[in-house]
Amino acid sequence: ENIIEEKVDIQKLKSLDKKYYLHPTTSIHQQQENGPTVIFKEGQGIYLTDVYDDVYIDGLSSLWNVNIGHGRQEMVDAVSTQMGRLAYSSSFQGFSHDPVICLSQKIATMTPGDLNVSFFTSGGSESNETAFKLIRNYWKLKGEAERTKIIGLNRGYHGITMGATSATGIAQFQNMSTANAPDFLHAKAFQLDCELGDKSNPNYRESIRGIIEKEGADTIAAVILEPVQGAGGINIPPDGYLQAVRQLCDEYGILMIADEVITGFGRTGEMFGVNNWGVVPDVLTVAKGITSGYIQLGAVIIRETIRDELAELSSDIFFHGFTYSGHPTACAAALKNIEIVENENLVVNAKNMEAEILKGFKYLESKHPTVSKIRAIGLMGAFELFADRANEVPFEPSQMVAQKVVQECMKRKLIVRPVIFEGSNIITIAPPLITNKEQIGTIIEILSEALTVVEKELIR
């Protein structure tokens, strides 16, 4: 009965996948034509093994989340022990248990400022969704119910639930359904001068500040942004930008949400992305790296003062909670994961590997005429491909250049992610936080081989 247990019939697996499985963020048409891209069976360290025993480098930490790498026995043991003791219990009605208490306390010791109070979810979308509702509830209780609007950034990604999609500034996700949630606005990203108040800048009206002034500050509940944009193509803000947004929010009494679903727990070479710029948001959302994906978990971390105000303002029930809020086994996984991140100095490793990635990307830039706009922070990096890089002329979308590079990487057993955005062809990497110098070298070599093949084809 169990197809995995018996000698695996790969063709059968492929046909069952086609017949019964609807993949997330995948072309349904292509899956129906070609079946699954790869069927994996095992993971160890930065490597994934497929059913043909081919070994791939997991160059994106799967979905920017398997930070401690695959196959960690300590995680298996921690999860199994907790499952044996208390796999699940509810956190509604004030019920609690030691893993969730210990994790809440642990997070408070790690986060900047007084971001000391955690609400738990099962992922990033749920965390952002929770942040929006919690903040709107906060304003309502404070007698400012008209503060409903949330401002996100173009190219920001916040997830796929209704509010999270609406906050997302990427057209493909926005266009998935015919109607998104109201009261979500999008600002042009990284307009530092405008956020500092330069009204002469032609982009002023599209900046966060411009939008706040147009809409009226007393209608704005919060600004949400990723300290470093991930899915939008690894876009690093200019120095001073996060500070400017913090200042702007303070000026207008608007709450600032940092979406650290990718950047949280070490990815950028700091424990949290905001630490790179010394900024403390009012609400910080996390998921992914909190458990390295071993069990699904997310959190919304709020300032203690906000919790105190909420407690002061109402004794009603906080009518928001997921069945799996504070899942004991997921919390045990997070505690062990954080212990590994700390004991193995993975945040420092991420910081050190930044230079290796940049060195590698510089080599790619010197060797490949299409490569430009290289960037990295910690263990996340990207470069872009241009038909004429000196004049930033993009390739035709029909040429599928980024997709072809990624396919050539796949042939050479490296998994990386293409980001196609308004004509740009971006290649992103974010290998696990355990990745070493030599492994970065291999990633760069494979990228170079893939680029050579694609560039040859383009010239022909």
Q: Nearer Cβ to ligand PLP, position 284 or 454?
A: 284
Pairing of strands 255-259, 220-225: parallel
Q: Which is nearer to ligand PLP, 158 or 336 (CB)?
A: 158
Nearest distance from C-beta of residue 264 to ligand PLP, angstroms: 9
125 binds ligand PLP (CB under 6 A): yes
The residue from 262, 333, 335, 385 that contacts ligand PLP (CB under 6 A) is 262
Could you say whether residue 237 binds ligand PLP (CB under 6 A)?
no
Look-up of token digits 């993975």: 346
Round to whole Å and give the CA distance between 269 and 340. 15
List of residues 6+ apart from 179 with CB closer than 8 A: none
Q: Which residue is nearest to ligand PLP (CB)?
A: 124
* Chosen residue from 59, 99, 124, 152 binding ligand PLP by CB under 6 A: 124
Q: Which residue, 231 or 244, is less far from ligand PLP as judged by CB?
A: 231
Q: Which of residues 148-177 bind ligand PLP (CB under 6 A)?
A: 157-159
Beta-carbon contacts of residue 432 (< 8 Å; ≥ 6 apart)? 45, 46, 58, 61, 66, 67, 68, 69, 70, 379
Q: Does 123 bind ligand PLP (CB under 6 A)?
A: yes
Among 259, 270, 356, 384, binds ligand PLP (CB under 6 A): 259
Give the shortest CB-152-to-ligand PLP separation in angstroms.
Answer: 11
Host H or E run for residue 256: strand 255-259
Count residues binding ligand PLP (CB under 6 A).
14
Pick the closest to residue 341 from 272, 444, 396, 395 (CA basis): 272
CB nearer to ligand PLP: give 65 or 439.
65
Residue 294 is a binding residue for ligand PLP (CB under 6 A): no
d(CA 301, CA 103): 12
Return the C-alpha torsion angle 286, 287, 291, 296, nearest 10: 150
Rounded distance between C-alpha atoms, residue 368 and residue 349, angstroms:
28
Q: Does 223 bind ligand PLP (CB under 6 A)?
A: no
The contact set with ligand PLP (CB under 6 A) reads 123-125, 128, 157-159, 226, 230-231, 259, 261-262, 287
